[in-house]
Amino acid sequence: MLAGDIFDVYDDELVAERAEARKQIEEFNALGERNPERSTAIIKKLFGETGQDCSVHATFRCDYGYNIYVGDDFFANYDCVMLDVAPIRIGKHALLGPKVQIYSVNHPADPRLRRNGAEGIGKPVTIGDDVWIGGGAIICPGVTLGDNVIVGAGSVVTKSFGDDVIIGGNPARVLKTNVTK
């Protein structure tokens, strides 16, 4: 799975790992904003790595949690989804708007493979420092975003982009360059 090979999502070990992650996510989502300290502790236990000042609002969904790595000053607004079959790495000072979806898994194009349970192909997602992803944006498997990138609300990002750009649309394209100047 982590090597990017086709894998069986019904493998007993993977099913057990997803079940454990879901227990933690259900507890996190049930807390809402009533106990920020406990909520943060759950996310820090669930994620593979967190920097300082990690804030995630309920509701949140992921597959495993341990494949999510976020840097310092991370914020994810309401209703975010991170399908972390392969690693999702997010740099420092990242802001995710509500309903942002980040997918690090795809499915085989061949329907015979899908029918036989070979449902996943992991492709890592990497997001740089100082990135702002607008509400409802979707980041597709295998995408890398550089530093200082802004993703417009509702965008579908199907390919990688370098530093200092504003991107938007479906599929996302560069709308403006040199955003820090």
Among this protein's residues, is 107 annotated catalytic? yes
The Cα–Cα gap between 90 and 72 comes to: 10
Residues 6+ apart with CB under 8 A from 47: 54, 65, 66, 68, 69, 70
Residues 6+ apart with CB under 8 A from 97: 77, 132, 133, 134, 135, 136, 137, 153
The Cα–Cα gap between 8 and 14 comes to: 9
Q: Which of 57, 61, 92, 107 is catalytic?
A: 107
Which of 148, 145, 152, 147 is CA-nearest to residue 170?
A: 152
Task: Show the tokens assigned to 180.
Answer: 């820090």
Q: Which helix (H) or strand (E) holds 167?
A: strand 165-169
Which active-site residues does the annotation give? Answer: 107
